[in-house]
Amino acid sequence: MSLLKVNNLTKNFGGLAAVSNVSLHLEKNELVGLIGPNGAGKTTLFNLLTGVYEPSEGDVLFEKEGKEERLNGIKPYKIANLGLGRTFQNIRLFKELSVLDNVLIAMTGKEKVGVLTGILRLPKYYQMEKKMENQARDLLAIFDLLDKEGEKAKNLSYGEQRRLEIVRALATDPSILFLDEPAAGMNPQETAELTELIKKIQREFDLTILLIEHDMSLVMDVCERIYVLEYGQLIAEGEPEEIKTNKRVIEAYLGGELTC
């Protein structure tokens, strides 16, 4: 049973099919790429998989404890609680809050205490609070952000904000991590560091990752399989070497060479 299975997924906006009849699957611990020209429907597909949009047709099925759960129509926060975490193409941090608080907010709902315990601030409440802070700091340390924990998120460099967004997604304890153009706006050095970081995340966090990215060198380096979208439709699937030489894929990239 696949960890995530997408069957004939379609999303219409008025008379436009932004995603049309897309089927794909993700297996446990895979690192899979999703590529395509601008406007191909990649982020729309991510939004369908994470509950931001509801499909017009088709199904999104998530394997949870040996059972398939249909995600259609489920709110994004409930999907996140099920184990699907994501980052966004445009960074969405709480800019005025501290780095640590950004991570702690993402962890809300992981640890639960009774209403009375929370209202009266009983010892169990403070134990839970301390545990979450320790977990948040452990994550920040992995991403070289621990020394920034007290700074406002808006004061981080662009690359650091990108890393913090990934930390925040990991703080939800996902089974699947959706990364939407994590290298966008990064310089070559930052992109190289991100490439190694993505490999580390998959290895150390026992995750399945689906990655949207325009940097083909990054995609070809880290991904085991790649799906290619054009005008909302899947036009290819395969291993990196297959995709690099696929004529339909090369044509989709404005008729030019798929540089990697």
Question: 102-157 pLDDT, tens per residue?
Answer: 999 988 756 555 444 545 556 676 677 788 899 999 999 999 999 999 999 999 99
90 found inside a domain: no
88 found inside a domain: no
Please say whether the beta carbons of 226 and 258 come within 8 A. Answer: no
Based on the fold, state whether residues 182 and 258 are members of the same structural domain.
Answer: yes
Based on the fold, state whether residues 127 and 231 are members of the same structural domain.
Answer: no
Based on the fold, state whether residues 158 and 193 are members of the same structural domain.
Answer: no
Q: Quote the pLDDT of residue 190.
A: 86
Q: Quote the pLDDT of residue 115.
A: 44
Number of domains in the chain: 2
Q: What is the pTM of this model?
A: 0.86
Domain containing residue 167: 96-171
Residues whose CB falls within 8 Å of the CB of residue 260, separated by 6 or more in sequence, listed in order? 216, 217, 219, 220, 240, 244
Please say whether the beta carbons of 84 and 174 come within 8 A. Answer: yes
Based on the fold, state whether residues 52 and 63 are members of the same structural domain.
Answer: yes
Based on the fold, state whether residues 140 and 242 are members of the same structural domain.
Answer: no
89 found inside a domain: no
Based on the fold, state whether residues 69 and 27 are members of the same structural domain.
Answer: yes
Kindly state the percentage of the chain with pLDDT values over 90.
62
